[in-house]
Each structure stands twice: as C-alpha cells, then as structure tokens.
Structure 1
Amino acid sequence: MEDNVRKLSTIAVCSITAATTLFAVGTTAWSANFDNMFKTANANWDCRDGERDNGLFCRTDNAEMTIVREPGMTSQGDKDIVTTLRNEYSPTDLKVYIESEGVYNGDTETDIVYDYHEYGGNIKGVTWCNDAVSDTKCDQHYVEFDDTDPTMNEICHETGHAVGLTHGAQASPPQDQRAAVLGCMRAYANSSYRDLGSHNTSMINGAY
C-alpha cells in the first residue's frame, strides 16, 4: 500500500556518529539567523560525481523529488523512511514521489536512493552525490545507513543532506554542532532528534 502513496506534500561525505531568538551553548551565543543550505561560506565545494568513499552531498535538482528504497532495508526501515518523509518533509515545498523501482541513469534518475551498507565504527549514515548537474545541484544522491532499520533521526538527517542541509559547523555563520535549532541536522545522532524543525523547513522553502 505504501508504494501507492505517490505524493507527500512535503559532502564532504556526511556521516552521523553515536526561530528568532538567541540561545547559549556553553559560553557562546548562537543565532537562529543563519544559512545552512548548500552552498554556504563554509560548505563551498563544487558539486561533483562521487562514490561511497569520496563523495560530497549537494542540493537536489528540483522540488519534485523521487525516492526509492533498495531491498537491503527491512520492512520496518522502509516504513520509517515513508513516515519520516511524510512527517518531516511534507510541511516543505518539496513534493516527494515514492517509486517501486529506481532509475539509475538518463534524464529521469531517481533523486534519492536509500540503501544499507555496513560501515562499522561510529558511522551511522553516509550521503553523497552520484550525478552532479551543476556546481550546486545533483540529479541523484545515494543515502546509505549502517543498519537495515535506521532510526527516524538518521533518516531525517541524511535526507536533509540530500536536499542540501548542512551541519552546524558548515552553516554561515557557523553554529554549534548540537544546537537545538538544527533539529535532526545536529551532528551527533540521537534517536529523539527526529524533527526537521522550522529553521530547516524555511531553508528548504527558500531553495525550492
């Protein structure tokens, strides 16, 4: 049934390891007025074709975003991807289409391919561009998790990279990596950080 859900109103290689106000982290104040949509002054690489071990995330190439879940994911992992896209990306201007089969070359490639790959260590997820179409945009991103049943935090985080959202340190001006305003884009994985949040939503809407 979930494959019939056609529309959700919705790098450095990224890896996850185990508002209008100012807020403090330690002794430093961080502002919610910052840009964390690729490119930024601190994430200014050119988008390019990459591979698992040397890829970079960019920005997806348009607001109509197709996704596919490869067989390496569990049934629960597949469901959690759909739930995360519906709950966190539906308030944005992105329109997400769930495909039963991926397209891996040509002019109509699937925009995000979700899959499992055993990384080991502290790496929970990796996102990279497979087919750059400009120095900013990518026609196809791969998102791989070191678990066949990733948490919704990991799904939200890596999907964020696939649409161009950065970590706090790559924002302009830089933000604390664990700043609450970053929502699920915090650099330190925690299963409770599954919300995209209003700031990231506004970043996506501004870009798409």
Structure 2
Amino acid sequence: MVTSGSLAAAVVSSWTLLLQPLISSASGWDSIFPTQNTGWLCPDGPCLANSSNHYYVVSSSVPNYVEVAISQAKVYSYDYTDLAMIGQSSNTSLTDVVYTMDDNLESIGAWALYDCYDPVNSSRCDWAQVYFDNSQMWSNRSNADLLRKVACHETGQSVGLVHGIDSSNSTGGSASNTAPWLGCMMRGWPAEVGLGSTNAAQINDYY
C-alpha cells in the first residue's frame, strides 16, 4: 500500500530514470515474500504470483494517465526482469492481477492498495486486484513520475515485493521503509521511480 503521507512532493529526473531503470542495489537483503520478517501468510499481505507469466488486465475504469503509468512501470522496470508481464483485454482464467479504481482509499490515507482474492496456498496468489484512489490519482495526474512510482510499487506487491520493514538480512534484521535500495518499494520521497536492481534480482530468483 502507498499512503498519502509517504508521497510528499519531490522532483525526480525522468531522463536519468529512463536511462538507468535499475540503479539501486544492496547485497544481502531479502525483499520478496516470504522473508524472516513477514508475519503473514497469503492472502493477508503481498504474495508471490502464481508463475513467471504475470497476466494483467487494466479495467475500463482506469483513466489514461494511470494506464500510462502502469505501462511505464512495466516497460522501464519489470521488462528488465525474468517476469513476463502480459496484458489482456479482459479477465480470464489466466489473469493474475486486475488494475482498477476506487473512491474510498483516501479516507484511510492510501493512494493505492493490493489485495489477493484467490490464494493458491499460503505463499502464492492466483488472482489479485490493485486499486488506485480516484481522487489522489486525479489530483496528481500531471506528475508522471509519482504515478509511475505508485504503479511500480503496487505491481511489486502483486509479485511479492515487500516494504523495507518486512525485508530481512542474513541476521534477521530489517531495513528502513525509506532505504534507497528499495527503489519504488520505498515509502517516501525522494524515491526511485524504477524497481531497483536488488528487487529485480529477487524477482529473478523467484521467477
């Protein structure tokens, strides 16, 4: 989940991010579910996706500026990993995640939210939804970097990436939620709009 308090205004260089989409790294960190510090079972938090083919649907309720952010997160971050994000025009038995809009997230201080509705087991999810808050997205529709960061963050949760506090190192310690190596999974600004090479490596390990 991305909260409004964690997304203060900041200027991020789009050109740098496009040329270097995976620039953060931190050795020895586990940032994908399950870690030593994830205290939940699927579907009670971010879960691993069902396979390396990640089929997604952008619902008709999603406005163009959010759809562009989802596409940019895919092209400039996830396409650099072993995960294959495959767009679909409608929900099918293959669909892993549906992106849609919501009118009530702002009331709980959230910009977006991931929910798994069909867990395969205690680790993997077969079908999930990502909700973007209509009001927050509309208010920031001209800030392409921020919207892309939110899309990258929620897509990350749909494949099991976690916040810093839920990551772990070899001794069981956790990172700060604002550790720069978290890339778009970082909570707060300034933050990378891209995935970050540590998270990319974690995705490649699992998928």
What is the TM-score normalised by the length of structure 2? 0.77
Shift of 1:191: 7.8
Map of 1:38-49 to 2, 5 A cutoff? 38-48=33-43
Equivalent residue number for residue 46 of structure 2: 57
Where has structure 1 moved over 2 Å in runs of 4 or more? 14-18, 147-150, 190-193
Aligned partners of 1:102 and 1:206: how far apart in 2? Answer: 28
SS in 2 for 1:115: strand
SS in 2 for 1:176: coil
8 Å CA contact 1:36, 1:168 repeated in 2: yes
Equivalent residue number for residue 115 of structure 1: 100
Aligned partners of 1:63 and 1:113: how far apart in 2? Answer: 16
Equivalent residue number for residue 156 of structure 2: 160
Aligned partners of 2:175 and 2:190: how far apart in 1? Answer: 21
Count of aligned residue pairs for this structure pair:
172
More displaced, 36-45 or 152-161?
Answer: 36-45
1:171 aligns with 2:157: no
8 Å CA contact 1:57, 1:141 repeated in 2: no
Aligned partners of 2:118 and 2:75: how far apart in 1? Answer: 25
Q: Which runs of 5+ in 1 are unaligned?
A: 1-13, 19-30, 49-54
1:37 aligns with 2:32: yes
1:132 aligns with 2:128: no
Aligned partners of 2:158 and 2:174: how far apart in 1? Answer: 20
Equivalent residue number for residue 75 of structure 1: 64
Aligned partners of 2:94 and 2:45: how far apart in 1? Answer: 18
Per-residue CA deviation, residues 155-205 of structure 1 (Å, 9 max, x unaligned), is 0001001000000000113101101100000022x4853110100000000
Aligned partners of 2:47 and 2:74: how far apart in 1? Answer: 19
What is the TM-score normalised by the length of structure 1? 0.77
Residue among 63, 66, 74 paired with 2:55: 66
The letter for the 2-side match of 1:43 is: T
8 Å CA contact 2:2, 2:153 repeated in 1: no
SS in 1 for 2:162: coil
Shift of 1:32: 3.9
Aligned partners of 1:140 and 1:195: how far apart in 2? Answer: 24
Equivalent residue number for residue 84 of structure 2: 95
Equivalent residue number for residue 22 of structure 1: none
8 Å CA contact 2:54, 2:85 repeated in 1: yes
The letter for the 2-side match of 1:167 is: H
Distance 1:192 1:177, change over 3 A: closer
Aligned partners of 1:15 and 1:79: how far apart in 2? Answer: 18
The letter for the 2-side match of 1:86 is: V
Aligned partners of 1:191 and 1:138: how far apart in 2? Answer: 31
The letter for the 2-side match of 1:175 is: A
SS in 2 for 1:120: helix
More displaced, 144-153 or 84-93?
Answer: 144-153
Structure with larger RCO (C-alpha < 8 A, sep 6+): 2
Aligned partners of 2:191 and 2:180: how far apart in 1? Answer: 12
Per-residue CA deviation, residues 53-86 of structure 1 (Å, 9 max, x unaligned), is xx53211010001011111111122122112101
The sequence identity of aligned pairs, in percent, is 28
